[in-house]
Amino acid sequence: MKKVFAIVEAGSSSVQGVLAGEALRLAARTEGHDIEIEVRTEQGVLNPLGDDAAGAGTRLLLVADELADDTLAHRADRHMTLEAVLADPAAALVFDGDDEADDPTADQAAPRIVAITSCPTGIAHTFMAAEGLTEGARQLGYPIRVETQGSVGAGTPLTADEIAEADVVMIAADREVDRARFAGKRVFASSTKPAISGGAKLIERALAEAKVQGGEAAASADIKAPTGLKERAGPYKHLMTGVSFMLPFVVAGGLLIAIAFALGGIGANADAAQGTLAHTLFQIGAQGAFALIVPALAGYIAFSIADRPGIAPGMVGGMLAAQIGAGFLGGIAAGFIAGYGVEVLNRLIRLPKNLQGLKPVLILPLLGTLLTGLLMVYAIGTPVAAVLAFLTEWLRSMQGSSALLLGMILGAMSAFDMGGPVNKAAYAFSVGLIASNVYTPMAATMAAGMTPPLAVALATRLFRNRFTLEEREAGGAAAALGLAYITEGAIPFAARDPLRVIPSLMAGSATAGAISMASGVELKVPHGGIFVLPIPGAVTHLATYAIAIVAGTLISAVLVGLLKRPPVTTAAA
């Protein structure tokens, strides 16, 4: 069959128009036809067609209840109503003369795919997901371009032309990704895990289930199309988005404070040191970067929920939380209040079409900030500040068995899923406490996170007969990842024998976390592994901290070696 161009004149029936367009797309894919669809609504045009529509060798389908454009009606090869298309979309694609020989290249054209991968820390899972999608596309024989949104920004960013030419956009991310670029494109979103474990399967799902992404104007208007706009994500994903954007402030501030102590000693922040480089660096780190930790956390939680209109209310709420003394707990509360508050206001406020542009830049930020600010000052801030003060005092006073227990819990969580939700929950808890000047949980969490990949690397050397040649060769890479505090380096080993390897790794990580917490080790920088430890002031009790990491590594390595069974070898015929 010849290529089909479809124009859906939805008018005020926006939802039915989008549904009709998607029904036509699914029917065309089922029948193996090539189709492009333009949906015209009162709020704008989705996927506008180019100049080649209704040209030689093409078919033009017009879907409209009322014909407002006689010229378009004359050009169309077929005209149907919205109701008829929704009732039988396959029949809408049958034209007079379709018994002609089909274009042999139509079915052979491989879908063009572009993808974005991202995770809260922007390190391991981001690139593992990209590798999984690339390998999956290679297995299927499809071209793909992947943009990795890592810790230093977008790697190999997608161009406007690549996005325009793509048949589907895949987003494999554990945090919210800005989708403004993909208005009118078919978009499929998932977490990074399925991309890592089965890229080919996820690509096939994306091609079958992708939904048309609405535009920025539509997102701020009153459209409620289930097939179009940004898909809802759970609170965990919103929290991880906030943590992701907060991390650079924590890292920069912590390193600057550590360098200040290295240059000026423990008195680098004293009044007597004013005017010195050490005092200046301390001010930049403590009063500059650290002052923005809670506002960034709150602002980007709200952004994840309500898009850009939520940023200002979230950041203002986060700033108020910091001023009230509610800290990171208050910032989390402010972010969710601002995000969900703006989302509700966006649905409730109805404006004429010519005033819709005021909502995202004026009305929603203003009312959202007012709502969040009043709730933080009069209702939420004070009790949350009291809870945080209690938590902070309890953590600082921890001695003996209580510190051991918390360290063991954080350590076991870090090794349980190695970069997954449980690991990230422990990490987010520890990073958040840095804003309240509580640094011991962060030290325990990083020690516990370094242990699993270091342990499997050591086990491949001590118990060589328990591992395949491929695993022994991968041991060196796991060790490098462990030194850099990338827990995901142990995932390939755990995936092959989870029931034995994961408990072994949890035991060592719990030991490392317990020793670190019980010794009162403090860490001011939430990432970097061994590479930040030599910086004076970044970590206290460095020798004890090294002992904790070594002890945890040895325990896990020995347990893995003792419990893991030797690989099965095929006997020679």
Residue spans of the domains in the chain: they are 4-87, 113-209, 238-563
Beta strands in 464-541 (DSSP E): none
Other C-beta atoms within 10 Å of 393: how many?
11
Give the residue among 210, 217, 200 at the shortest CA–CA distance from 231.
210
Q: Which CATH architecture has domain 4-87?
A: 3-Layer(aba) Sandwich (3.40)
On the question of pLDDT at 510 being above 80, the answer is yes
- Residues 270-277, mean pLDDT to the nearest whole number: 85
β-strands 153-155, 78-80 pairing:
unpaired
Asked if 4-87 and 113-209 have one fold, the answer is yes
On the question of pLDDT at 38 being above 60, the answer is yes
Other C-beta atoms within 10 Å of 485: how many?
23
**Three-point CA angle 174, 180, 185, nearest 5°:** 90
Give the residue among 93, 24, 90 at the shortest CA–CA distance from 60.
93
pLDDT of residue 470: 77
Provide the 3-class DSSP secondary structure of residue 5.
strand
Here the tokens at position 115 are 């993808």
Does domain 113-209 fall into CATH 1.10.645.10?
Answer: no
pLDDT of residue 448: 93
Confidence band (pLDDT; 50, 70, 90) for 570? very low
pLDDT of residue 214: 65
What is the average pLDDT value for the chain, to the nearest integer? Answer: 82
Cβ–Cβ < 8 Å for 139, 161: no
- Cα 298 to chain center, whole Å? 16
On the question of pLDDT at 218 being above 80, the answer is no
pLDDT of residue 393: 82
- Residues 343-366, mean pLDDT to the nearest whole number: 86
pLDDT in tens, 249-262: 887 888 888 788 77
Cβ–Cβ < 8 Å for 443, 516: yes
pLDDT of residue 455: 94
Here the tokens at position 146 are 């992947």
Cβ–Cβ < 8 Å for 277, 263: yes
Question: pTM for the whole thing?
Answer: 0.62
Dihedral sign (CA 325, 327, 333, 338): positive
pLDDT of residue 458: 94
pLDDT in tens, 137-191: 888 888 999 988 865 555 678 888 888 889 999 999 887 787 888 888 899 998 8
pLDDT in tens, 284-314: 988 898 889 899 999 999 998 988 899 999 9
Report the catalytic residues.
119
pLDDT of residue 223: 33
pLDDT of residue 313: 95
Give the whole-angstrom CA distance, residue 179 versus residue 183: 7
